[in-house]
C-alpha cells in the first residue's frame, strides 16, 4: 500500500458530476511471489540464480524480490547489480534474453525512498520467453547504471526516460534530452510536474491552460 486514490483518476477540484468522484480505492504494488512461480518462470529464476552464483553474486544480494503479477514475471533488482543481472539474463545459454525492448519510467511519489522506477521488458528469441527487470531509486538520488553496454538499443530509450522522468543513467555515452528542448526545466511525465500549458483559441473562444481554468465545486 503506497496510497489511496479518490475519484476515477485521482483528480481533485474538477467539479466531477459523473458519480465517480466519490470512489475510494487503495494504491497497492504487488508483493513478492512464493514458489512455485508457475510455467517457465521457475526455470528462468533457477537459471538466473545459477548464473549469478557463477559470477560470485548471491541471488538474495542482487534480487530484492520476484513478482508474478498478471501472468508476467518481474525481477526487482538492486541498482548496483543491474548490469550483472542483465548480462546473466542475456548470456546464459538456458536464458538467452537477447532483446531488450527498451526502458520505461514510472513515478510513485507516495513510495518514499523508491519514488522512481525503471522497467526493462526482456525477450528471449531463442526460447520465446519474456520477463521484466525493475529497479527503484529515490528522488534524492535518481541514478541507475546504464544498460547501453549490454543492450546498445537502449540508447534513445534511456535518454527519453531521463528527459521525462529525470532518472540519470550512469555510463550512458550521451545522456541528453531527446524530446524536450535542451534548456527545458523539469521532467514532464513526473506526477509532481505542473500541468501548465498555453491559452488556445477555438472559434473565437479562448480556453485557458489546465492550471488556470475555473473550478465548479
Provide the CATH number for the domain around residue 76: 3.30.460.80
HEC states along the chain?
A: CCEEEECCCCCCCCCCCCCHHHCEEEECCCCCCCCCCCCCHHHHHHHHHHHHHHCCCCHHHHEEEEEEECCEEEEEECHHHHHHHHHHHHHCCCCCCCEECCCEEEECCCCCCCCEEEEEEEEECCCCEEEEEEEEECCCCCEEECCCCCCHHHHHHHHHHHHHHCCEEECCCCCCCCCCCCCCCCCCCCCCCCCCCCCEEECCEEECCHHHCCCCC
pTM for the model stands at 0.84
pLDDT at res. 5 = 78
Q: How many domains does the chain have?
A: 1
pLDDT at res. 180 = 92
Whether residue 207 is contained in a domain is answered as: no
Range of the domain at 174: 32-186
Whether residue 56 is contained in a domain is answered as: yes
Can you give the pLDDT of all 217 residues of the chain as single tens digits? 888 877 766 566 656 566 676 788 888 888 899 999 999 999 999 999 999 999 999 999 999 999 999 999 999 999 999 999 999 999 999 999 999 999 999 999 989 999 999 999 999 999 999 999 999 999 999 999 999 999 999 999 999 999 999 999 999 999 999 999 999 889 999 998 887 777 777 787 888 777 777 665 5
Whether residue 194 is contained in a domain is answered as: no
Whether residue 87 is contained in a domain is answered as: yes
Whether residue 59 is contained in a domain is answered as: yes
Whether residue 203 is contained in a domain is answered as: no
Whether residue 170 is contained in a domain is answered as: yes
Whether residue 216 is contained in a domain is answered as: no
pLDDT at res. 158 = 98
pLDDT at res. 9 = 61
Amino acid at each position: 500500500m503506497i496510497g489511496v486514490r479518490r475519484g476515477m483518476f485521482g483528480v481533485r477540484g474538477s467539479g466531477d458530476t459523473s458519480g465517480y468522484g466519490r470512489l475510494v480505492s487503495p494504491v497497492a504494488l504487488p508483493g513478492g511471489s512464493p514458489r512455485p512461480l508457475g510455467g517457465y518462470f521457475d526455470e528462468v529464476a533457477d537459471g538466473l540464480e545459477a548464473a549469478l552464483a557463477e559470477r560470485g553474486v548471491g541471488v538474495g544480494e542482487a534480487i530484492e524480490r520476484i513478482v508474478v503479477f498478471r501472468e508476467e514475471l518481474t525481477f526487482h533488482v538492486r541498482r548496483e547489480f543491474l548490469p550483472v543481472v542483465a548480462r546473466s539474463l542475456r548470456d546464459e545459454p538456458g536464458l538467452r534474453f537477447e532483446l531488450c525492448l527498451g526502458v520505461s519510467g514510472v513515478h510513485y511519489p507516495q513510495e518514499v525512498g523508491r519514488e522512481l522506477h525503471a522497467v526493462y521488458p526482456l525477450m528471449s528469441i531463442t526460447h520465446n520467453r519474456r520477463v521484466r527487470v525493475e529497479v527503484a531509486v529515490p528522488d534524492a538520488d535518481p541514478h541507475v547504471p546504464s544498460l547501453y553496454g549490454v543492450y546498445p538499443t537502449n540508447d534513445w530509450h534511456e535518454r527519453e526516460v531521463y528527459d521525462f522522468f529525470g532518472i540519470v543513467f550512469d555510463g550512458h555515452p550521451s545522456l541528453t534530452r531527446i524530446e524536450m528542448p535542451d534548456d527545458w526545466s523539469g521532467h514532464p511525465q513526473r506526477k509532481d510536474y505542473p500541468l501548465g500549458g498555453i491559452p488556445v483559441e477555438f472559434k473565437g473562444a479562448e480556453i485557458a491552460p489546465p492550471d488556470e481554468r475555473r473550478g465548479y465545486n
